Structure formats: structure tokens, C-alpha cells
Amino acid sequence: EVQLVESGGGLVQPGRSLRLSCAASGFTFEDYAMHWVRQAPGKGLEWVSGISWNNGIIDYTDSVKGRFTISRDNAKNSLYLQMNSLREEDTAFYYCAKDRSSSVPSGPYDYWGQGTLVTVSS
């Protein structure tokens, strides 16, 4: 059974940093691209970042470029999102999602974690 379990969310002040983790199991992690998708409470979905199986392809939505860094450790079956210079508009549930099709980040996303809530507020 595929499982994705996010952790690391919480309440943080604007300008501070947070690191999210996603522990994967039930599939061959190194074979698939992975993504982070966020959802502000009661709002829609926004793709944040994607990474290929070997870190060779990485991309971000414009609003987080230069502030967020996605990474993965295939030996630990884990995905990460380092979030720096956080803003109130970054407040959201952050979901880790598995790419269905490919080792490169293309989509769609066939498995999602339960999400971890990041609240940016003073």
C-alpha cells in the first residue's frame, strides 16, 4: 500500500523558515518524480514544486522561487521542502504527491499524503 506521510508543519512568524518532510513507502520511491502541492484553508489547489527521480529536473511556481528548495533522499525514501522567508500568503496545507506517470515531474498525481498545515502569522 502506497503511503505518503508529511511532517514539519506548524505556526511560524513571517520571515522565518520551516522544513517539511514526506516519508514514502509502498512503492519504489527512486523510480518516480515527486511534487509538493498546497491548499490554503477552504481554497483551491496550487502546485508548488516538482523534482525528478535523480534531482536532475527541479521547478517551482513563481511565487516561491528563490525562497523554497525541494530535495529528495532516495536512500531514505524521503522528500523535503525547505521554506525560507515565509510570508502570510504561504499559509496552507502542504501535500506531498507522487507522480503517476514518470521519473520526471510531469503529472498527474496518483497518491497524496494527508497534508501538513503551515501557518505563517505574527
Partner 1 sequence: DIVMTQSPDSLAVSLGERATINCKSSQSVLYNSNNKNYLAWYQQKPGQPPKLLIYWASTRESGVPDRFTGSGSGTDFTLTISSLQAEDVAVYFCHQYHSFPQGTFGRGTRLEIK
Give the Cα separation of 67 and 91 in Å (integer).
Answer: 14
Binder to partner 1 among 45, 69, 74, 119 (CB under 8 A)? Answer: 45
Q: Are 94 and 116 in contact (CB under 8 A)?
A: yes
CB of 119 to partner 1, least distance (A): 17
- CA of residue 99 relative to chain centroid, distance: 12
107 binds partner 1 (CB under 8 A): yes
Q: Residues 68, 84: contact at Cβ < 8 Å? A: yes
Report the residue number, 17 or 54, with the smaller CB distance to partner 1: 54
Residue 5 near partner 1 by CB under 8 A: no
- The radius of gyration of the chain's CA atoms, rounded to the nearest angstrom, is 13
Q: Contact positions toward partner 1, by CB under 8 A?
A: 33, 44-47, 50, 57-59, 61, 95, 100, 104-110, 112-115
